[in-house]
Amino acid sequence: MKHLLSINDLSRDEAILILDTAAELARISDGPMKKLPTLRGRTIVNLFAEDSTRTRISFEAAAKRLSADVINFSAKGSSLSKGESLKDTAQTLQAMGADAVVIRHPASGAPFRLADNQWMSGAVINAGDGTHEHPSQALLDAYTMRKHLGKGAKDLAGLRVAIVGDILHSRVARSNVLLLTKLGAHVTLVAPPTLLPFGVDSWPVTVSYDLDLVIPQVDAIMMLRIQQERMHEIFFPSAREYSRYFGLNRDRVNALNPNAIIMHPGPMNRGLEITADAADSARSVIVEQVSNGVSVRMAILYLLLGGAPIEGGIN
Amino acid sequence: MKTVLPAPDMSRAIVRIAHEILERYDGADSITLLGIPTRGAHLATRIAAAINAIEGGQVAVGTLDTTMHRDDLRTRSPKALLPTLIPPAGVEGRHVVLVDDVLFSGRTIRAALDALGEIGRPTSVSLAVLVDRGHRELPIKADFVGKNIPTSRTEIIKVNLVEVDGTDEVTIAEGGSK
């Protein structure tokens, strides 16, 4: 494996290797060994052409705990905002000797373009591209589910997961559907018809329009953010109506299975897709998802960069 | 392929190492055994059992994975991590005994010393191995040795343990290119 662009790049066994490695790294970091020398001398560039808090600092923390050198590069304050092309940026990074580029970009497919051309030789890690994929988020979600609900199993066989909300614009949902079904979970998407993507009937999932029917049947419920920045049309009549039908509130939390967990990739719109008491309830693992994210990203960086350099393209 | 250490000799060697460790540290109270996975960890468990049988307490035993500290990471594909389990007492102020199956180049032990240094500052560190086959590439030597087996570089020493391989024995075979 040279790049991580899509969950489709991973076999089931590779995905499980990432989760196992992350579990071991989490155990080491929880103990007294905070920093590992594994990536000493390697340079990792965080190229963020779109705003991000969690993913960027999570990748930065992961790289630093593995002793890599990190260069942060965001659209604001760089030549990207002067209209520099992706190609020129990539060649600049190559000239500076970047061993890996973690890229977040508003255009779907930008990481593929970076990896598929000969612009640079380093590994490319997709940290979210447009409305396409966000593989490291799906891996940390699967890790969190396995830790809480896996009962010691390697995969997620038989687990029932609901993903609720803005599926249409969500790269998190796309990557999660691919990964969770690969690991044996059963996924139900819950959204108003306007927020479901075209062709969703060909996905390996169940679709529902009624959150209250789905709630008592799941082991994990993942609420998605309403992505106002990508909404250029009117997808639902009002925020209040959306909250009433598709928001997670106290009554719905009480209707969940006793062991079910509440997840959200962040950032949350409190009061819209999730109420404050749902987000802060004892069932919520939203804050833990962030700390799991560091371990999972350490595993990704170690497995992509820790060994001998791989020549050639994907896999 | 021939057997150089059959099962009865192996268990005698483990008991002897247990006695030597106890003699060196005046009892088991200050000792922490750390096995290097996979087979070193099983050997550490066996030495601990032998120590407990002699002394009647519970000697501290754990595992220490060296993967992230190896100096040959860049020359092969990344390996899956193995468990690092440090006993609750930690390593600070303890006499740590590293345990591995075969001592060869010494590079694994160097990585283990680096990993250990990240965890804390033991009072002392010593090394117990089941087999010392020579050909050191670093200034490292074992304090407790089950058996010294002179080898050529190309020969292959294989330690089989019941826990992993279903049988207890050490074999030596003519290698091809190594």
Domain count across chain A: 2
CB B123 within 8 A of CB B95: yes
Q: How far is A84 from chain B (nearest CA, A)?
A: 34
Is A315 a domain residue? no
| Contact state of B76 with A27 under an 8 Å Cβ cutoff | no
Residue type, A85: S
- Dump pLDDT digits (tens) for A233-281: 888 998 999 999 999 999 999 999 999 999 999 999 999 999 999 999 9
- Dump pLDDT digits (tens) for A162-180: 999 999 999 999 999 999 9
The stretch B84-94 carries a mean pLDDT of 93
* A120 and A159 both lie in a single domain: no
Nearest CA in chain B to A303: B78
Token pair for B19? 């006695």
Domain that includes residue B99, residue range: 2-70+82-173
**Mean confidence (pLDDT) of chain A:** 92
Is B100 a domain residue? yes
Q: How many CA atoms lie within 13 A of B95 on its CB side?
A: 16
Confidence of residue B144 (pLDDT cuts 50, 70, 90): very high
pLDDT attached to residue A315: 31
Domain count across chain B: 1
B 37-76: CB under 8 A from A: 65, 68-69, 73-76
DSSP conformation letters of A154-216:
SS-TT-EEEEES--TT-HHHHHHHHHHHHTT-EEEEE--GGGS-TTGGGSSSEEES-HHHHGG
Q: Report the C-alpha gap between A268 and A259 in whole angstroms.
A: 22
The reply to whether B178 touches chain A by the CB within 8 Å rule is no
Give CA angle at B138 (B137, B143), nearest 5°: 115
* A261 and A202 both lie in a single domain: yes
| Contact state of A306 with B78 under an 8 Å Cβ cutoff | yes
* A97 and A140 both lie in a single domain: no
ipTM at complex level: 0.83
Residues of A in contact with B74 (CB under 8 A): 307-309
What sign for the dihedral angle of Cα A205, A206, A210, A213? negative
Q: How far is A31 from chain B (nearest CA, A)?
A: 8
Is B152 a domain residue? yes
| Contact state of A38 with B69 under an 8 Å Cβ cutoff | yes
* A295 and A190 both lie in a single domain: no
Is B42 a domain residue? yes
The reply to whether B89 touches chain A by the CB within 8 Å rule is no
Q: Report the C-alpha gap between A219 and A217 in whole angstroms.
A: 7
* A13 and A126 both lie in a single domain: yes
> Cβ neighbours of residue A310 under 8 Å, at least 6 residues apart?
A1, A2
B178: pLDDT strictly greater than 50: no
pLDDT attached to residue A157: 96
CB A71 within 8 A of CB A64: no
The reply to whether B78 touches chain A by the CB within 8 Å rule is yes
Q: How far is A67 from chain B (nearest CA, A)?
A: 11
pLDDT attached to residue A33: 74
* A17 and A100 both lie in a single domain: yes
What sign for the dihedral angle of Cα A24, A159, A195, A252? negative
The stretch A149-156 carries a mean pLDDT of 94
- Dump pLDDT digits (tens) for A71-117: 988 877 777 777 788 899 888 888 888 999 999 999 999 999 999 98
pLDDT attached to residue A57: 94
CATH number of domain containing B149: 3.40.50.2020
Interface test with B, best of A17, A38, A40 (most B CBs within 10 A): A38
- Give me the residue from B79, B82, B118 closest to A33, CB to CB: B118
Domain that includes residue A202, residue range: 135-287
Q: How far is B40 from chain A (nearest CA, A)?
A: 18
| Contact state of A33 with B119 under an 8 Å Cβ cutoff | yes
- Dump pLDDT digits (tens) for A186-223: 999 999 999 999 999 999 999 999 999 999 999 999 99
* A128 and A13 both lie in a single domain: yes
Q: How far is CA A293 from CA A169, A258, B40, in A?
A: 22, 25, 32
Is B76 a domain residue? no
DSSP conformation letters of A100-140:
EEEEEESSTTHHHHHHHSTT--SEEEEEEETTTB-HHHHHH
Catalytic residues of A: 54-55, 82, 104, 134
Helices (H) and strands (E) in chain B, counts: 4, 8
- β pairing state of B2-5 and B169-173: antiparallel
Is A313 a domain residue? no
* A161 and A247 both lie in a single domain: yes
B177: pLDDT strictly greater than 60: no
Residues of A in contact with B118 (CB under 8 A): 32-33, 35-36
* A240 and A172 both lie in a single domain: yes
Letter string b/e over residues A31-66, b meaning 16 or more CB atoms within 10 A of that residue's CB = eebeebbbbeebbbbbbbbbebebbbebbbbbbbbb
From the centroid of its chain, how far is CA A87?
25
Q: How far is B111 from chain A (nearest CA, A)?
A: 11
Is A91 a domain residue? yes
pLDDT attached to residue B73: 86
The stretch A25-52 carries a mean pLDDT of 88
Is A12 a domain residue? yes
Is A312 a domain residue? no
CATH number of domain containing A24: 3.40.50.1370
**Region of poorest pLDDT, from A135-139, A147-151, A224-228:** A224-228
Residues of A in contact with B78 (CB under 8 A): 302-303, 306-307
Main-chain phi, psi angles of A156, to 5 degrees: -115, 30
Q: Which residue, B1, B58, B78, B10, is CA-closest to A42? A: B78
% residues pLDDT > 70 (chain A): 97
Is B66 a domain residue? yes
| Contact state of A24 with B69 under an 8 Å Cβ cutoff | no
B142: pLDDT strictly greater than 60: yes
- Give me the residue from A27, A33, A307 closest to B76, CB to CB: A307
CB atoms inside a 10 Å sphere around CB B7: 14
Is A2 a domain residue? no
CB A169 within 8 A of CB A228: no
Is A310 a domain residue? no
Is B77 a domain residue? no
Alpha carbon dihedral A102, A106, A109, A115, in 10-degree steps, equals -30
Reported residue count of chain B is: 178
A64: pLDDT strictly greater than 50: yes
Q: How many CA atoms lie within 13 A of A54 on its CB side?
A: 19
Is B127 a domain residue? yes
Confidence of residue B176 (pLDDT cuts 50, 70, 90): low
A 6-65: CB under 8 A from B: 17, 20-21, 24-25, 27-28, 31-33, 35-38
* A46 and A160 both lie in a single domain: no
* A181 and A247 both lie in a single domain: yes
| Contact state of B74 with A303 under an 8 Å Cβ cutoff | no
* A115 and A163 both lie in a single domain: no
